[in-house]
Chain A
Amino acid sequence: MLEITLIVGASLILAWPLGIYMARIFSAQPHASDRIFLPIEKTLYRLLGINAARGMNWKTYGSAFLLSNFLLFIAVFLLFLFQHRLPLNPDGIGPLSWDLALHTAVSFITNTNQQHYSGQAQLSYFSQSVAIVTLQFVTPAMGLAICLAVLRGLLGGKKLGGNNKDTAAEGEERDLGNYYVDVTRAVVRVLIPAAAILALLLTWQGVPSTYAGAATVTTLESASVEQTIPRGPVAAMVAIKQLGTNGGGWFGPNSTNPLENPTPLSNALETMALVLIPMAVVFMAGYLLRSRRFTLMSLAAMGILSIACISASVYSERQPNAAFSGLSATDVNMEGKEVRFGADASALWATLTTQTSNGSVNAMHDSLNPIAGLVTRAGMLINAIWGGIGCGFVNFMVYVWITVFLAGLMIGRTPEIFGRKLETPEIRLLGVLIVLPSLCILGLTAITLAIPSITGTSNPGFHGISQVIYEYVSAFANNGSGFEGLSDNTPWWNLSTSLCLALGRYLPLFIPLMIAGYLARKRVAPESSASLNIGSTTFCLTLVTVILLLNFLSFLPSMVLGPIGEALQLAQHSGAAK
């Protein structure tokens, strides 16, 4: 318990100054670090042909986002298909099949890192350290950029081509910042420095950092049995995997592998890295929105949900393994867990990694007790408790908008946020976002389960359904963690999850950007005593209720056929056995 409190508390304390630092660099305020970073950024702008002074409205900002994603996707897809012809492949690994290459490219371009391949065995060093690590740095920066544009839009942005003080006429498109500058700054000033520090700490703890090929050792068992131990520049990749809400590890077993996560300290560091930047984004948002009360409200809403989930998860994993029910086992659930981490640290990790859209694991989620399994899914479905870098806060804003609409009506005013009214065009867009998760997750789950030949589950009944739902939930939430036990490297799984990944990434980022663009050009009403106070306790509780209710209502029936049914079944069995 102390361990959990320390890890979560330390993350919050570190996130505060980091958030303020981020707010400063993204609002282009002079900063002491300019002397180091400005020359690097200027060089990058020159190399990439970026006009850093150009302001973008939501359309140009959004097109730049989509275009850069598309180009990177093509490059990475080709790279995976031709990795056997490329350098840095000491173990002679062959190309990926087209559908696996497609899924892997989509999975990494969407900051998901859902892996239908096994890292060390199917990707060359070049693929891992160039394609994957590049995307692991760039994609969180892209999510953060959209978040920044949305935040700027909430306060009306700037006049295009003007200076900060100008107010625009109503209906005029507004400057939401420069996409390329935001991405570059996020990579150069946030992700790279943070990853460098963490990589050093992890190397110190024993995570490999080398370009040498796999090590071959003779085991104690017999002189004739040789074991090949894959290795590589692991520490760097693990650092950005944890910090950038990526989740795709160097090794297939991810952070359960002792070479990715060797010690309790490395485990604590990696757990903190899961939530550090997502938490910092909340502080950053409050600073950029110039509203301390809104920051507190956001922290409280996310905090309530996060702590409730952690508690449920830890409680669940302290119970004996569900499969032992009826036996005299009394110990905590250790199935699928590393003994060196234990139940608490694994439950904490499982909760945070699903809340933050990270998806790295230090235990097998397939083996969690049903309640913890439900918590992991809840974290991904809500996808706004800290959430992915940038995209988590954008999702949070979507819930805020929906709540503002309901709460605004209840106080008898046309719903407005930061003085800008939410009207039919915005609600129509929010409607798309409300329907989208159900459509993707439940739609694809239903199709997959209806055709047994493509299902590929390892279990019948509730658990099988759980596996399928988990895979799509994980894909849609851009989480990437796997429930495992699923034969997912098939064309159906690769293609259907690719679709789910893309829809779950681009619409939930692009649509809020549109909404922010719409809001930015509206006439601003000054706040009065009669307007809705979105920093209040009442609003916070209303928001939490809306978040829970919306997800509960959308997904309860399918959860009943998955983890809830499973839990009830187990409870019944154990009752019968006693």
Chain B
Amino acid sequence: MKNSTIKKSQKTAPALDQNQIVAACRIAVTKLDPRSASKNPVMFVVLIGTLLSAGITLQRAFAGASFGFELTCALILLFTVWFANLAEAIAEAHGRGQATSLRSARRDLMAERLDNHGRITKTIPATELRKGDKVLVSAGNYVPADGEIIEGVASINESAVTGESAPVLREAGTDHSGVIGGTKVLSGEIVVAITTEPGESFLDRMIGLVEGAKRQKTPNELALTVLLAALTLVFLIAVASLPAMAGFMGVNLDNTMLIALLVCLIPTTIGGLLPAIGIAGMNRALAANIVAKSGKAVEVAGDIDTLMLDKTGTITFGDRQATRFLPVAGTSEQDLLEAAVYSSLQDPTPEGKSILKLAENRGFQLPSLPSDAVFSPFSAETRLSGLSLPASDGQTEGEQGKSAREFVKGAGTAVSRWAEGYDLFVPGSLQGLINQVAQTGGTPLVVASNTAILGVVALSDVIKPGIAERFARLRALGVRTIMVTGDNPITAGAIAAEAGVDDFIAEAKPEDKLALIRAEQAKGRLVAMVGDGTNDAPALAQADVGLAMNSGTQAAREAGNMVDLDSDPAKLLAVVEVGKQLLMTRGALTTFSLANDVAKYFAIVPAIFIAAIPSIGALNFMQLHSPQSAVIAALIFNALIIPALIPLALKGVNLRAISAEKLLRNNMLVYGLGGVILPFIAIKLLDVMLTPLM
């Protein structure tokens, strides 16, 4: 249980099989089409360079001149573009693999469609269902499409979608009324209103986000593309102005070498990997079972300043559990335990069960229930629950015969009223115990028998294990968490302190969530909201990142911009990490790409000029073998660095919870300084390897 989400978020995409890789290679070829290449200004320039150098090769071939060098350059350039396409195709294949495995469950499903009177009209394929159709799903059948339960209650196995094997309960009219297509109803019968048109489900949208053709660039990706286009233009000008300047000195420059210089200078590494990085980010979200409705939402998640979440079901399990037994003065704990256990033996509520569990933990042997015991369940009038045992004649455990006994538990006032009927003395210490429990955030439950008021059982919200660690990690990432609860300030404060949230809002009404988000946003903060109920919908829509629980109502899922298939509220941590990684990977590879240029300059610039201006040879301090070998080595490095970095682009730069300053320093050292040094070594090595071939 502990940290399961974090582990899941770091789950890497499954490796592609051979067929998928072959398919990706083929797709990478079709992406050479200039129409699709023109979307990426950097790689488009490389493509043009490829065509130009191919033209030069042909020209020389027809003129009978040697063309080996030109042909080699043209081929390396072609591979450069193809590698970039391959990166995108592999990322797409990962995404498609993930999405289709989720989607495969719903193929071939049949649906029993109902007419307006609730009668089954006919059984049709799920793909023919339209939004608003009502279908009947009974035990043993699959939910044909995403929808909302409008009638009935069912336990559902969602493992096909979420991977979680424990069945979940979904019920009409509650905050847990949403069902996903492809999940299996284990028990019960439900009427589901279909909420999506075919091809428009969350999963379909998600697939759209990872497929190149339909993919929209996210805002940050767009900004970076603009910057890269500007840099490309700068290098284009720098190279294009050289022939005229060299001409002034009476020197003719080799066109192929100029093209090589241009391609090496423009940021091909980041330019080639940029689409793959974006797609891989979506894939990582999907791997964490988060379905984002837009790439922008995932990107924004990295900027979140404030996370707002409901206490119930998020921070705590949502049901009160017994945590302590507090006997009144003069009563032994054993007596209190006995009364509390008897009063709860047949109690089906979670509170009752938790009392039995706690008693067991305390070493109390649970008695077997006499067959003639009468359980009186909690009712609105008595506000008590309890058990009465008829008089016995002492067959058990050698005790003498007992008179009839009664045990009750309930709120303090209710028990007092009940006790009056038996003329019981109200111990002086009782009120103190009640207060003590209330002040620490618990609910006091007074336990009495027909002979005495025995003490108090403290019921408290139990904080989910591991939640404090996640909030700590969110805090390290700069996210402040605010808990929203309907509890009184004392209770809320106690839970807030235990869970380690930064702030809490007590006695909150549903509309307070919206107001709070607006107030936070007015201070300039980006707010994430996690919610599942219909009354959360406005807040989910207002928040910058609205993470809806898949188990939540349709309204909530529509209002949020992400849906968590696992319905795990702490999943936001995973989304924040994916968002941050997305930006970091882009920044790091841009820096790396630009830093690489220094070495490439020192390889190619001397090569271009040395024939005409021998003194420039001094810049060739790498001692590269010949101008041709230098240019080819630089081009090969430039091409191979793209596939070499595909794994990094797909996995994302390592995100650690360290200060922004340290993060910047680390990335500058690794990708900036490393980016300057690595190509010097790599180009020299490639040159040494090429020398025998030249």
Q: Which residue on chain A has the smallest CB distance to residue B666?
A: A410
Which has the most chain A C-beta neighbours within 10 Å: B230, B238, B582, B659? Answer: B230
Task: Answer yes or no: B680 CB below 8 A from chain A CBs.
Answer: no
| Nearest neighbor of B299 in chain A, beta-carbon distance | A414
Considering the complex, give the chain B residue whose CB is closest to the CB of A425. Answer: B223
Determine whether A442 belongs to the interface, using a CB cutoff of 8 Å to chain B: yes
| A406 and B590 contact, Cβ closer than 8 Å, known pairs A411-B663, A414-B583, A525-B525 | yes
Distance in angstroms from A349 CB to nearest chain B CB is 29
Q: Which residues of A from 398 to 419 have beta carbons under 8 Å from B?
A: 402, 405-414, 419
Query: Nearest chain-A residue to B579 (Cβ)?
Result: A412
Contact B618 A572 (CB under 8 A): yes
A419 near B660 with CB under 8 A, answer no
Tell me the smallest distance from the CB of B230 to a CB of chain A, in Å: 3
Q: How far is the CB of B116 from chain A (nearest CB, A)?
A: 47
Interface residues of B in 584-622 (CB under 8 A from A): 584, 586-588, 590-591, 594-595, 597-598, 601, 605, 609, 613-616, 618-619
Q: Mark A130-141, 1 if CB is under 8 A from B, else 0.
A: 000000000000
**Total A-B residue pairs with C-beta atoms closer than 8 Å?**
218
Question: A571 contacts B618, CB within 8 Å?
Answer: yes
Cβ A560 vs Cβ B619 within 8 A:
yes
Instruction: Choose among A410, A525, A554 the residue with the greatest number of B CB atoms under 10 Å from its CB.
Output: A410
A431 and B227: CB pair below 8 A?
yes
Check if B526 is an interface residue, CB within 8 A of chain A: yes
Least distance between B219 CB and chain A CB atoms (Å)? 6
Identify which of A411, A443, A553, A564 contacts B597 (C-beta below 8 A).
A553
Interface size counted on chain A using CB atoms at 8 A: 71
**Contact (A414, B220) CB under 8 Å given A435-B233, A442-B237:** yes
Contact flags (1/0) for A287-321 with B, using CB distance below 8 Å? 00000000000000000000000000000000000
Q: By the criterion CB–CB under 8 Å, are B615 and A555 in contact?
A: no
- Could you say which residues of chain A place their CB within 8 Å of the CB of B679? none
- For residue A34, CB closer than 8 A to chain B, the reply is no
Contact between A414 and B241 (Cβ–Cβ < 8 Å)?
Answer: no
Given A438-B234, A526-B305, A536:B661 Cβ within 8 A:
yes
B478, CB-defined interface residue at 8 Å = yes
Whether A409 contacts B584 by the Cβ 8 Å rule is yes
Q: Please tell me if the beta carbons of B219 and A423 are within 8 angstroms of each other in the complex.
A: yes
A539 CB within 8 Å of chain B: yes
Q: Is B347 an interface residue (CB 8 A)?
A: no
Q: Is B127 an interface residue (CB 8 A)?
A: no
Q: What does the 1/0 interface line of A536-561 toward B look like (CB < 8 Å)?
A: 10110110010001001111111011
Chain B 208-249 per-residue mask, 1 if CB under 8 angstroms from chain A, else 0: 000000000001101110110111011101111111111111
Asked whether, in the complex, the Cβ of A405 is within 8 Å of the Cβ of B223, the reply is yes
- A478: CB under 8 A from chain B? no
Known: A523-B524, A561-B246. A427 touches B223 (CB 8 A): yes
Q: Does A422 sit at the interface, judged by CB under 8 A? A: yes
* Inter-chain contact B664/A424, CB cutoff 8 Å: no
Task: Output the nearest chain A residue to B251 by Cβ-Cβ distance.
Answer: A561
Query: Closest CB of chain B to A539's CB: distance in Å?
Result: 7
**B interface residue count range (under 10 / 10 to 19 / 20 to 34 / 35 or more):** 35 or more
Distance (whole angstroms) from the CB of B237 to the closest CB of chain A: 4
Q: Which of B614-663 contact A (CB under 8 A)?
A: 614-616, 618-619, 655, 659-661, 663
**Is A464 at the interface (CB under 8 A from chain B)?**
yes
Residues from chain A with a CB closer than 8 A to the CB of B478 are: 528-531
Interchain CB contact under 8 A, A569 and B615? yes
Interfacial chain B residues near A431, Cβ < 8 Å: 226-227, 229-230
User: With an 8 A cutoff between CB atoms, is A74 at the interface?
Assistant: no
Contact A572 B615 (CB under 8 A): yes
Q: Check if B302 is an interface residue, CB within 8 A of chain A.
A: yes
B506 touches A (CB below 8 Å): no
Query: Does any Cβ of B come within 8 Å of A465's Cβ?
Result: yes
Residues of B near A409 (CB, < 8 A) are: 220, 224, 583-584, 586-588, 590
Say yes or no: B222 contacts A446, CB within 8 Å: no
Task: Mark B394-438 against chain A: 1 for CB-CB distance below 8 A, else 0.
Answer: 000000000000000000000000000000000000000000000
Contacting residues, chain A, for B665 (C-beta < 8 A): 538
Main secondary structure of the interface of A (DSSP, over half): helix
Q: A412-B655, A413-B580, A554-B234 are in contact. Are A568 and B618 (CB under 8 A)?
A: yes
Given A526-B524, A530-B477, A553-B597 in contact, is the A438-B588 Cβ separation under 8 Å?
no
Within 8 Å CB of A561, what residues of B? 242, 245-246, 249, 609
| Complex Cα gap A204–B223 (Å) | 57
CA distance A452 to B247 in the complex (A): 10
A530 touches B618 (CB 8 A): no
Q: Which A residues lie within 8 Å of B245 (CB)?
A: 445-446, 449, 465, 558, 561
| Cα–Cα distance between A405 and B672 once the two chains are bound (Å) | 15
A410 touching B667 by the CB < 8 A rule? yes
- C-alpha spacing A445/B655, complex, angstroms: 46
Closest to B601 in A: A556
Verify if B58 is at the interface (C-beta below 8 Å from A): no
Cβ of B265 under 8 Å from chain A: yes
A450–B247 alpha-carbon span in the complex (Å): 7
- State the 8 A-B residue pairs at the shortest beta-carbon distance, nearest first: A530-B478, A409-B587, A412-B580, A431-B230, A410-B587, A446-B244, A446-B241, A442-B241
Chain A residues with a Cβ under 8 A of chain B = 402, 405-414, 419, 422-424, 426-428, 430-432, 434-435, 438-439, 442-443, 445-447, 449-450, 452, 455, 460-462, 464-465, 523-526, 528-533, 536, 538-539, 541-542, 545, 549, 552-558, 560-561, 564-565, 568-569, 571-572
Give 5 A-B pairs besides A435-B233, A438-B234, A557-B239 with Cβ atoms closer than 8 angstroms: A424-B219, A424-B226, A449-B244, A530-B478, A530-B479
Instruction: Using CB atoms and an 8 Å cutoff, list the residues of chain B in contact with chain A.
Output: 219-220, 222-224, 226-227, 229-231, 233-235, 237-249, 261, 265, 299-300, 302-303, 305, 477-480, 521, 523-526, 579-584, 586-588, 590-591, 594-595, 597-598, 601, 605, 609, 613-616, 618-619, 655, 659-661, 663-665, 667-668, 671-672
Q: What would be 14 A-B contacts, judged by CB atoms less than 8 Å apart? A: A406-B587, A406-B591, A424-B223, A430-B230, A435-B233, A438-B238, A465-B249, A528-B480, A530-B479, A541-B668, A556-B238, A557-B261, A560-B616, A561-B249
